[in-house]
Structure formats: structure tokens, C-alpha cells
Structure 1
Amino acid sequence: MKFGDYLRKCREAISLTQPEAAKKIEIEQSYLSKLETGKSYPSDDIYKRLVDAYKINTQELYELVDSAELEKLKTVREVQDAILRQEKQQVKHVRSWLVAGLALLILGGASLGHALIPSEQAVLYLYRSQAELLPDEPLETFSILNKDYQERPEWADRIARQKALLPRVHQLEHTSYQDRGNSFVKKTLNGRRFYEKVSAKEVNRYTGHKWFLIPAIGFLFGALGCFYISRKWRY
């Protein structure tokens, strides 16, 4: 909005004609006409008279009048003070958004780095348990299943033992990056399981946490949003 248009609206808001307003402000009507048409701009003294006559709110004027028009009013002390206050407030807002954006950028970078930690060489151990052992059974109970007994009379009892154990077979595997020796025992609800080492091989172990990607993306987008808002405040 032009400053002259703002003046005219203020005058019309209090239902004054140009001659009446000029008389109240104690200026020539022709000068008031120039002010309203943008051909002239008030001095500091005239502006104070306009404020008194029209009840002008300088902060409102700052918000409604074009920036190019405000530049022409910089000689008016009250307008100049309003511009300085607004510029300080603007700098404060920009700084706040920049600080918030920087904080989110740091958090996003840290989260992303944690999610993308490179893998490292490690040994993966594989253990296997044939079945669940009853409390009174020895650890080697199911090792008999690993042997191949031919149908010979002297091995009949061993073959019978194999057939009796087969229905209970329920293999479970356990992998670990920790070497637990050649075997270990793990308690179960009804007894225990005897795990024996099957293999040990070198693998690439991923040491990061992929779920950190979710907050990382959120933080980075938040940072971009803060920087965008700070730019809008600045310009």
C-alpha cells in the first residue's frame, strides 16, 4: 500500500473531508492532497500532527505500507524507530531459526553416521542342538544318532535306542559372535539343551543401527525447514 493511500483511509475512517482534516492538522489542503497522492512526504513535525489527528499506529503503518514507501519516510523519527525495532526482531527470529536448524543438522548427521557405521570383520560361530534333554539324561544321549549301525544282532539294542530317540529330535541352531567353546548347555522349560559347535566362519559384521535412519531423515528435513523459514524471515 502507498503511504498516501494509507493516509486517505485513515482520514476517511474518522469521517473527515480534506479541508476539515487540513484545518485540524493545521496545514494547507493542497499540501494534504500532495501527501495523499504521493507527491510529497511529511516531515517529522507534520507526521506527529498526522498521528495526533488520525490516531495513526506507526507499527500498523509499518506492516501495511510498502517497503519502498517506508524508505521515503525514514526522515520521520517515529517511522525510523519502528523500522529499527522490526529489523532487530527480524534478526532475532532469523538467528533463532538458524540455531534450531543447526542443532537439527547436527542431530541428523550424528544419527545418519550411527546408522551407516561400516561393517567389520568378525567370526560367526554356529552351534546346533539335536533335541531337548530330560533332567536325568547325559549330555551325549543324542550323539548315538550320528552313528550308522548296520542291521547286525550285536547292535540291535543300539538301533532300538536310535529308533526310540528319533521322534524326539527337534534341531535348534544358535549363532553367536562370541566363541562359547566346543559346546555349552542351555536350560529349557522341561530340561536342557546341549549345543555343539558346528562351524566358525569369517563374516562382515554390520555394527550400525538401521533404525537410526528414521530420526536422521526427520532431523535433516527439520533442519532444511528451519533454514527455509529463516530465509523467508530474512527477505
Structure 2
Amino acid sequence: MRDVRDVDGYRLRVGNDRGRDVTNEAAQMVWQLVMAEDGEIAWDMDDGSRMVLRAEKQECSTGSPDVENERTAQRIAESEQNNAQLLRERDSAQAALSDMYRAVTGQSPEWNNDSDYTDAIAEVEVACTLWRAVSDDPVKFRRLLAELENFVSTDAAADVISERLRQLTVEGRTAEKDDHYSNLELRNAAVCYICPSLAESHWPWADKYWKPTSARRNQEKAGALILAEMERLDRQKHNGILPQ
């Protein structure tokens, strides 16, 4: 016969070979035996016979496998939906930052992957601050940019001027900051963009400011940095300071 009991989260099945009822004491003995693994226990009876008890344990289930599988599938589906929603919100936030940047500067932002977005908010804040310093009127601000670009006659020159304006309005590379550089920093930075292989040994600033892209774009940055250096030297000359 078999005796089935639920104990401590396990289902204990106890059977014997004598067809007799299994006492609580006998079941407890077997339970102690099989706590580590399934097994059996035997002893001699008063009438000379031998009693053998065999037992096995199983974890008690609170629900059928089908119900548990359904719950698991539901949790996975909810997790996937939440992840998709987070990605949509991230993409919307990135698009909003790009739109703000473009509205202020008239240019598309340089960040083009997820990691670059760590500095995107700071760049937009700098651009907005400089924008307000020039004019509170966005139409007037963009007209000023267009007028400056109209002073040049070729696409190449226009691109260099545009990059110089970006450095001023977005990166905050103002004349006041440039005047703190030595004679070599701006020129070395320009050289690195012309010949990127020299950046490891000649880049004058922190690595996070080194942002090479295409050859054409690198040349635009180099040209703008050369302009910045020429402007710095002109200011020194105007103030009676001889170049070192």
C-alpha cells in the first residue's frame, strides 16, 4: 500500500511490502532517510518477518506546468513590451535633442551613436546660452550666421567658416578661451586633424575632445582651428604682444 503526505514543501510517497498501514513513526523514519535522496529502510518484526519501507520525495507544485508556463510567457511578453517602450522613448529624446541643436545652430549635430549622446544635453545648453548672448531672436540669429557665410565664395571656404561658427557657438571656443592657449595648442590640434596618425603624440587636449570623422570633415576642423590661431595672433599683435 502507499501513503502520500505533503511535508515541508515536498510530497512524500511511502509504501511497504507487507500491505500494512504506515504509522507516523515509520513515515518519519523514512522521511529522515530520504531528505537527502530517495531510499528505503528495513527492520525485523516481532513475528520474525521483515518490514521494508520505500519512499520517494517530490517538490509540491502550486500549479500545473501549463499554468506556470503561461505565467512565464506572460512575464516575458511584458518585459519585451517594456523594453520596446524604453527604446521608443530613448529615440524620441535623442530626436528632440537633435532638433533643438539644429534649431539653434542651423546645423545637424555631430553625435551619431548612443555613446555620443552623453554630452548632447551639455552641447545644446552651451549653444542656447551663446545664442541668447548674441540675440534672443532666432530668426535674427540665423540671419547673422547666413551673412557671415555669404562673405566666402566657395563651398570649401563656407564649410570652414561654418565649422568655425560651430566651434564658437556650440563648443564655446571663444576668443577669451583661445587667448589662454600657447602658440602651439591650436596649431597642433589642426595638424592632428590633417594627419590623424599624429594625434596620439600631439593632440593638445583631453582625449574626449578628439573627434575625427571623415577626411573632408577633419579638414574643415583643421581649417577652423587655423583660423582660430590666426585670430589669436592678430589679437596679440593688436595688444602689442609679440608671438613667442
* TM-score, structure 1 normalization: 0.25
User: Which of structures 1 and 2 has the bigger CA Rg?
Assistant: 1
Structure with the bigger RCO (C-alpha within 8 Å, sep 6+) is: 1
* TM-score, structure 2 normalization: 0.24
